[in-house]
């Protein structure tokens, strides 16, 4: 039962961060973001919600696997990296959409990608599947970085 509650906690935490990010972006997505020049490879707006939801669930499962398979001392560092990347994830939404600042958001998203990659490496030492569960997230954020840079340059 403890492991199931922990799984619910980790997935719920990730989804909560996503919900907070969504709350920050809600106004900007409807009134500011549509006015920006965007590159031809910009995905349709409807795609972001389902993709991020799936990624947050995978992230939560990955963190739970590390928590549940490693001794507390061994999991502490990797889970701290996980918390850092989660904070940067929310921070990017605040900077890009909340502050409407695509340029400074590039700095945040580059730091986010670095934190995700560091988390993957740290998770891999404990649980290979946990690390693999974060790969789609790293790839999506790499794409989002290119998109963020393009939006910044076009505006």
Q: What is the CATH number of the domain that holds 133?
A: 1.20.1260.100
User: What are the pLDDT digits (tens) for 23-67?
Assistant: 999 999 999 999 999 999 999 999 999 999 999 999 999 999 999
Residue position matching structure tokens 């505006």: 155
Q: Which residue, 10, 106, 22, 26, is CA-closest to 67?
A: 10
Contacts of 136 (CB under 8 A, 6+ apart): 54, 55, 58
Q: Which residue, 51, 52, 70, is CA-closest to 6?
A: 70
Domain, as residue range, for 93: 2-154
Res 72 pLDDT > 90: no
Number of domains in the chain: 1
Q: What is the maximum span of the chain, computed from C-alpha positions, in angstroms? A: 51
User: What are the pLDDT digits (tens) for 100-149?
Assistant: 999 999 999 999 999 999 999 999 999 999 999 999 999 999 999 999 99
Question: Under DSSP, is residue 133 helix (H, G, I), strand (E, B) or coil?
Answer: helix
């Amino acid at each position: 039962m403890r492991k199931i509650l922990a799984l619910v906690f980790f997935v719920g935490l990730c989804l909560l961060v996503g919900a907070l990010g969504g709350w920050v972006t809600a106004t900007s997505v409807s009134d500011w973001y549509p006015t920006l020049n965007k590159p031809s490879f910009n995905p349709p707006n409807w795609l972001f919600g389902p993709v991020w939801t799936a990624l947050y669930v995978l992230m939560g499962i990955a963190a739970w696997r590390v928590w549940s398979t490693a001794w507390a001392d061994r999991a502490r560092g990797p889970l701290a990296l996980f918390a850092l990347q989660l904070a940067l994830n929310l921070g990017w939404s605040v900077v890009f959409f909340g502050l409407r600042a695509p340029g400074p958001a590039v700095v945040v998203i580059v730091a986010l990608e670095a934190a995700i990659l560091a988390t993957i490496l740290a998770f891999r030492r404990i649980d290979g599947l946990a690390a693999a569960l974060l790969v789609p997230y790293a790839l999506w954020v790499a794409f989002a970085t290119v998109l963020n840079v393009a939006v910044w340059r076009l505006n």
